[in-house]
C-alpha cells in the first residue's frame, strides 16, 4: 500500500523504502529462525569439528596407553586432528562470538593429547567439546522414517560389506589392504562412544586420510538408514528392555550423542535403555507422537533438566511443550471443554515462570503435577471417542474463518483503494502477493514435514514478526487515508496525480504487503487442520472438508459484498470507513504479534492483576500486549487531533 501512496504522491516517495525495509527484515528473521543463523560454511565446519572430536575420543586408546605412545601413526593423527579442531573453532569464533568459550575447550583437548594424558581424560574433553558445539550449532534435520530393515541390510551388503565385513566386524575381503583398518561396528566399547550423527557424517562426507569415501550417490534417507543400521550392530535387541525406554530420550538426543554421554546426561536412565534404542531404531519411527504426548515428554525433560541445574534448557523445553504440543490441540479441546483449555494454558504459563527461578523445586513440582493432571483430563476428553460430525464441521469452518478473515480484509482494502483510484492495472500485483503466499505457505509446511524441522518457537517468532510488520504498515496506510477523508482534499489530490504512471519497481510493495498478510495465516491454518484430522476417523473426512469449503464460500461472498459496497460509497465515506478498518486490523495484529512473540519466549510475559482474553481482537491480559495496542490507539488519537487543529487553522485563515 505505501507503494501506491508513493506513486500517487511525490511528497511521500520515502514510503516505499520503508516497505522494502520491512520486507527485508521479515525475510531475514524468517530465514534465521529455521536454522540459518550461521552461514552454510560455518555449519559445515561445526559438523566437521564435532566429527573430529568424536573420532579422537574413539581412537585415542589405540595411540596412547598409560602415558606412552603405542602407535606413532595413530598418535600423529590425534595431534593433527586436535590441531585442526583448534584452528577451525577459532575461525568460527572470529565470526560468531558465542563460540568463543569453546576455543578454550579445544585448546585443552589439544594440550591433553600433547601431554599423552589418559583415555578417560581425553574422552571427557572430547565429549564436552562435542556437546558444546552441537548445543550452540543449528540442529541438524532428522529423518522422518527409515528404510525397511531388509532394505537397510541389503544396502549395507552392497555398499559396506567388502570393507567392513558381512557382519560389520571390519573383516571384509578388502580389509587386509587398507590402512587404517576398517571400523569394527560390533566393537561395543567403540560403539558406546560413537553417535549416529558421527556415523552419518562419515557416510555423507567420507573420512580424510582413510579409504572411507563419501557416498554422494545415496539419498539422505538412505544415509540415515545406513547410519542407524551400522550404529545398531554392537547392541543386542531385547523387547523387555526396550519396553522400559523412556520417551524423555528424544530422537535428536539419540542422534547427536553417544550412549556413554547420554548415560551421563540422564543419570536416572539406565545405560541399557539407551542401548536398546540404538539396537531398535525402528521403535523411534513407528508413529509420530500425539501433541499431548509431545507436551508430556517436553515437560518431563524440562523437569529433569531443571533438577540437574540446566535452567536454560528446562525453560526452552517448557516453551516447546506448549508450542510443539498443546497448541496443536487447542481447537479440538475447545470443542469439548473451553474452560479446561484455558486452565491448561494458565498452568503452562505459571510453569514457565516457576522454571525460570533457580532452586524453586517445591513450587515447580507442584505446578508440574497440576499440569500433568490437567493433560490427563484433556487426553481423556479427546480420546474417549472421535469428535462428532457436527463438531468437526463447525471446528473446520471456524478455523478457516478465523485465520482467513484478517488476511481477507487486508487484501480487500488494497484492491478497493486501487479500484477507487482508477488503478485497476495494479490489481495484478496484489493478486500475485496473496496467491504466492498460498503456495509459499503450503510449500513451507511441506518442507517442514519432509526436509527440515521447524520448531514451534520458530513458527511463533515468524508469525509474530509478520504480524507486527503488517500492523505497522497498515497503521501507516490508515494515517495516510485519514488525510484524504475530506472530499475536497481527495478531489484536488486526484486532479494533481491521476495521470501519474505506476512504475513496476514501486508496485512490488503491494505484492509484499499482500504476501505478508496472507503467508502468516496459511502455515498455522495447515497445522490446525492437520491436528483436527488426527481427532477424526476416515469416514469423517467429508465433514472436515465440508467445513473448509463452506468457509471458503463465505470468504468469497464476503469479499464480493465488501468490494461492491465499498465501490458505491461516497469517496469521503469510503476513505473514512477504510481508515478505521485498517486501524482495527493494525490493533488486532499488534496484539497477536505480541502474544506470538511471548509464546515463543521472545518477549517477557507480565500478567495484569486481572485475567481476561478476547481472542478475536487479539487482546490478552499482559502488560506488553495491552500497552502495545494502547500505543496504536493513542498514536491514532494524536493524529486525529492534529488533523482537526490543522483544518481549523486553515478555515480561520
Residue 361's CB: how many other CB atoms inside 10 A? 12
What is the reported pLDDT for 229?
A: 92
> What is the mean predicted confidence (pLDDT) over 455-475?
64
Asked whether residue 80 is assigned to any structural domain, the reply reads yes
Same domain for 392 and 377?
A: no
Query: How far apart, in whole angstroms, are the C-alpha atoms of residue 580 and residue 320?
Result: 37
Q: Which of 382, 417, 432 is the last residue of a domain?
A: 382
Q: Which residues is 622 bridged to in the sheet?
A: 607
pLDDT at 604 over 90: no
- C-alpha 150: how far from its chain's center? 34
Is residue 246 within 8 A of residue 254, CB to CB? The reply is no
Residue whose C-alpha cell reads 550423527 in the numeric block: 197
Residue whose C-alpha cell reads 530422537 in the numeric block: 251
Asked whether residue 3 is assigned to any structural domain, the reply reads no
Same domain for 295 and 401?
A: no
pLDDT confidence bin for 241, thresholds 50/70/90: low
Residue 118's CB: how many other CB atoms inside 10 A? 15
> What is the mean predicted confidence (pLDDT) over 30-57?
66
Same domain for 114 and 261?
A: no
Same domain for 159 and 124?
A: no
What is the reported pLDDT for 447?
A: 64
Asked whether residue 16 is assigned to any structural domain, the reply reads no
Same domain for 475 and 613?
A: yes
Minimum mean pLDDT among 252-256, 371-375, 441-445: which range?
441-445
What is the C-alpha radius of gyration for the chain, rounded to an integer number of angstroms?
30
What is the reported pLDDT for 555?
A: 83
pLDDT at 62 over 60: yes
Same domain for 80 and 164?
A: no
Asked whether residue 6 is assigned to any structural domain, the reply reads no
3-class secondary structure, 65: strand
Count of structural domains, the chain: 3
> What is the mean predicted confidence (pLDDT) over 390-402?
75
pLDDT digits (tens, 9 = 90+) for 158-205: 999 999 999 999 898 988 888 878 889 999 988 888 889 889 988 988
Q: Which of 41, 288, 298, 4 is nearest to 142 (CA)?
A: 288
Same domain for 366 and 391?
A: no
Written as one string, the DSSP assignment of 247-289 is TTS-HHHHHHS-HHHHHHHSTTS-HHHHHHHHH-GGGGSSSPP
Minimum mean pLDDT among 47-51, 448-452, 570-574, 628-632: which range?
448-452
Same domain for 299 and 270?
A: yes
What is the grid cell recorded at 293? Answer: 504426548
Domain that holds residue 175: 149-382
- Residue 610 has φ and ψ, to the nearest 5°, of -115, 150
Long-range contact pairs involving 67-73 (C-beta distance under 8 Å, separation at least 24): 67/116, 67/117, 67/118, 68/116, 69/116
What is the reported pLDDT for 3?
A: 34
Q: Which of 396, 390, 377 is nearest to 532 (CA)?
A: 396
Q: Which of 303, 283, 299 is nearest to 291 (CA)?
A: 299
What is the reported pLDDT for 570?
A: 60
Same domain for 355 and 398?
A: no
Same domain for 364 and 305?
A: yes
pLDDT digits (tens, 9 = 90+) for 487-510: 445 445 444 443 344 444 456 666
What is the reported pLDDT for 39?
A: 46
Asked whether residue 331 is assigned to any structural domain, the reply reads yes
Q: How is residue 327 annotated by DSSP?
A: G
Same domain for 329 and 410?
A: no
Instruction: Output the CA angle 30-35-39, nearest 5 degrees.
Output: 100
> What is the mean predicted confidence (pLDDT) over 370-395?
75
What is the reported pLDDT for 230?
A: 92
Q: At what angle do helices 623-652 and 571-599 cross, to 10 degrees?
A: 160
Cβ neighbors of 175 (< 8 A, separation 6 or more) are 163, 164, 165, 181, 182
Q: Which of 365, 382, 399 is the last residue of a domain?
A: 382
Same domain for 238 and 340?
A: yes
What does the buried/exposed string (b/e) look like for 429-440 if buried means 16 or more CB atoms within 10 Å of the residue's CB? bbebbbeebeee
Asked whether residue 412 is assigned to any structural domain, the reply reads yes
- C-alpha 341: how far from its chain's center? 23
Q: Which of 601, 610, 605 is nearest to 625 (CA)?
A: 605
What is the reported pLDDT for 443?
A: 76
What is the reported pLDDT for 502?
A: 45
Q: How many residues does the chain have?
A: 653
pLDDT exceeding 90 applies to what percent of the chain?
9
Asked whether residue 563 is assigned to any structural domain, the reply reads yes
pLDDT confidence bin for 273, thresholds 50/70/90: confident
CATH classification of the domain holding 70: 1.20.120
Asked whether residue 209 is assigned to any structural domain, the reply reads yes
Higher-confidence position of 555 and 27: 555
Average pLDDT, the chain: 75
Q: Which of 382, 410, 434 is the last residue of a domain?
A: 382
What is the reported pLDDT for 265?
A: 65
Query: How far apart, in whole angstroms, are the C-alpha atoms of residue 53 and residue 49?
Result: 6
Q: Which of 37-41, 111-115, 220-224, 571-575 has the highest mean pLDDT?
A: 111-115
What is the reported pLDDT for 507?
A: 63
Q: Which of 157-171, 263-277, 456-470 has the highest mean pLDDT?
A: 157-171
Which secondary-structure segment (H or E) carries 479? Answer: helix 456-482
Cβ neighbors of 484 (< 8 A, separation 6 or more) are 490, 493, 575
pLDDT at 215 over 70: yes
What is the reported pLDDT for 512?
A: 74
What is the reported pLDDT for 164?
A: 93
3-class secondary structure, 146: coil
Is residue 414 within 8 A of residue 437, CB to CB? The reply is no
pLDDT digits (tens, 9 = 90+) for 312-331: 888 888 888 887 788 877 77
pLDDT at 405 over 70: yes
Minimum mean pLDDT among 297-311, 312-326, 402-416: which range?
402-416
What is the reported pLDDT for 79?
A: 92
What is the reported pLDDT for 82?
A: 92
User: Does pTM surpass 0.85?
Assistant: no
Amino acid at each position: 500500500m505505501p507503494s501506491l501512496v508513493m506513486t500517487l504522491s511525490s511528497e511521500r516517495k520515502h514510503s516505499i523504502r520503508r516497505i522494502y525495509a520491512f520486507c527485508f527484515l521479515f525475510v531475514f528473521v524468517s530465514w534465521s529462525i529455521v536454522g540459518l543463523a550461521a552461514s552454510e560454511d560455518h555449519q559445515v565446519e561445526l559438523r566437521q569439528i564435532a566429527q573430529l572430536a568424536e573420532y579422537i575420543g574413539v581412537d585415542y586408546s589405540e595411540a596412547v596407553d598409560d602415558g606412552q605412545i603405542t602407535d606413532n601413526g595413530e598418535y600423529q593423527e590425534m595431534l593433527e586432528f586436535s590441531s585442526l579442531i583448534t584452528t577451525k573453532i577459532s575461525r568460527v569464533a572470529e565470526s560468531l562470538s558465542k563460540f568463543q568459550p569453546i576455543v578454550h575447550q579445544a585448546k585443552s583437548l589439544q594440550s591433553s593429547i600433547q601431554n599423552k594424558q589418559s583415555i578417560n581424560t581425553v574422552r571427557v574433553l572430547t565429549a564436552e567439546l562435542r556437546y558444546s558445539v552441537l548445543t550452540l550449532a543449528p540442529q541438524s534435520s532428522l529423518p522422518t522414517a527409515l528404510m525397511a530393515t531388509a532394505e537397510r541390510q541389503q544396502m549395507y551388503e552392497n555398499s559396506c560389506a567388502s570393507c567392513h565385513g558381512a557382519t560389520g566386524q571390519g573383516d571384509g575381503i578388502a580389509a587386509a589392504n587398507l590402512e587404517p583398518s576398517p571400523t569394527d561396528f560390533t566393537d561395543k566399547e567403540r560403539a558406546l562412544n560413537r553417535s549416529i550423527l558421527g556415523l552419518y557424517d562419515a557416510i555423507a562426507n567420507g573420512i580424510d586420510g582413510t579409504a572411507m569415501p563419501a557416498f554422494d550417490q545415496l539419498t539422505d534417507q538412505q544415509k540415515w538408514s545406513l547410519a542407524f543400521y551400522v550404529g545398531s550392530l554392537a547392541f543386542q535387541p531385547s523387547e523387555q528392555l526396550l519396553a522400559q525406554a523412556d520417551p524423555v530420550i528424544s530422537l535428536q538426543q539419540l542422534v547427536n550423542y553417544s550412549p556413554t554421554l547420554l548415560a551421563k546426561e540422564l543419570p536416572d536412565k539406565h545405560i541399557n535403555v539407551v542401548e536398546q534404542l540404538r539396537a531398535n531404531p525402528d521403535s523411534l519411527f513407528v508413529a509420530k507422537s500425539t501433541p499431548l504426548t509431545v507436551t508430556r515428554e517436553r515437560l518431563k525433560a524440562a523437569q529433569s533438566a531443571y533438577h540437574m541445574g540446566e535452567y536454560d534448557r528446562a525453560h526452552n523445553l517448557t516453551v516447546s511443550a506448549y508450542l510443539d504440543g498443546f497448541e496443536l490441540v487447542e481447537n479440538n479441546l475447545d470443542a469439548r471443554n473451553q474452560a479446561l483449555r484455558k486452565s491448561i494454558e494458565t498452568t503452562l504459563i505459571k510453569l514457565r515462570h516457576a522454571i525460570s527461578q533457580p532452586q524453586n523445586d517445591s513450587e515447580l513440582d507442584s505446578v508440574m503435577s497440576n499440569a500433568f493432571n490437567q493433560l490427563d483430563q484433556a487426553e481423556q476428553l479427546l480420546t474417549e471417542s472421535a469428535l462428532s460430525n457436527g463438531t468437526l464441521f463447525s471446528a473446520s469452518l471456524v478455523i478457516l474463518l478465523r485465520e482467513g478473515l484478517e488476511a481477507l480484509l487486508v487484501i480487500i482494502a488494497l484492491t478497493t483503494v486501487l479500484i477507487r483510484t482508477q488503478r485497476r492495472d495494479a490489481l495484478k500485483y496484489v493478486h500475485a502477493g496473496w496467491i504466492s503466499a498460498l503456495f509459499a505457505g503450503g510449500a513451507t509446511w511441506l518442507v517442514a514435514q519432509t526436509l527440515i524441522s521447524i520448531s514451534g518457537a520458530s513458527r511463533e517468532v515468524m508469525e509474530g514478526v509478520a504480524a507486527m510488520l503488517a500492523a505497522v504498515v497498515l497503521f501507516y496506510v490508515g494515517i495516510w487515508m485519514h488525510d484524504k477523508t475530506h472530499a475536497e482534499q481527495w478531489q484536488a489530490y486526484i486532479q494533481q496525480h491521476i495521470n501519474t504512471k505506476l512504475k513496476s519497481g514501486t508496485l512490488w510493495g503491494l505484492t509484499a504487503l499482500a504476501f505478508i498478510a496472507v503467508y502468516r495465516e496459511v502455515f498455522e491454518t495447515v497445522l490446525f487442520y492437520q491436528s483436527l484430522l488426527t481427532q477424526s476417523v476416515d469416514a469423517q473426512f467429508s465433514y472436515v472438508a465440508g467445513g473448509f469449503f463452506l468457509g471458503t464460500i463465505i470468504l468469497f461472498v464476503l469479499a464480493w459484498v465488501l468490494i461492491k459496497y465499498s465501490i458505491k460509497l461516497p469517496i469521503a465515506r469510503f476513505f473514512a470507513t477504510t481508515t478505521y478498518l485498517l486501524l482495527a486490523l493494525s490493533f488486532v495484529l499488534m496484539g497477536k504479534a505480541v502474544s506470538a512473540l511471548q509464546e515463543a519466549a521472545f518477549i517477557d510475559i507480565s500478567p495484569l492483576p486481572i485475567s481476561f482474553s478476547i481472542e478475536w481482537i487479539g487482546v490478552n491480559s499482559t502488560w506488553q500486549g495491552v500497552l502495545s495496542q494502547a500505543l496504536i490507539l493513542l498514536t491514532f488519537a494524536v493524529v486525529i487531533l492534529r488533523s482537526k487543529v490543522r483544518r481549523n487553522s486553515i478555515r480561520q485563515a
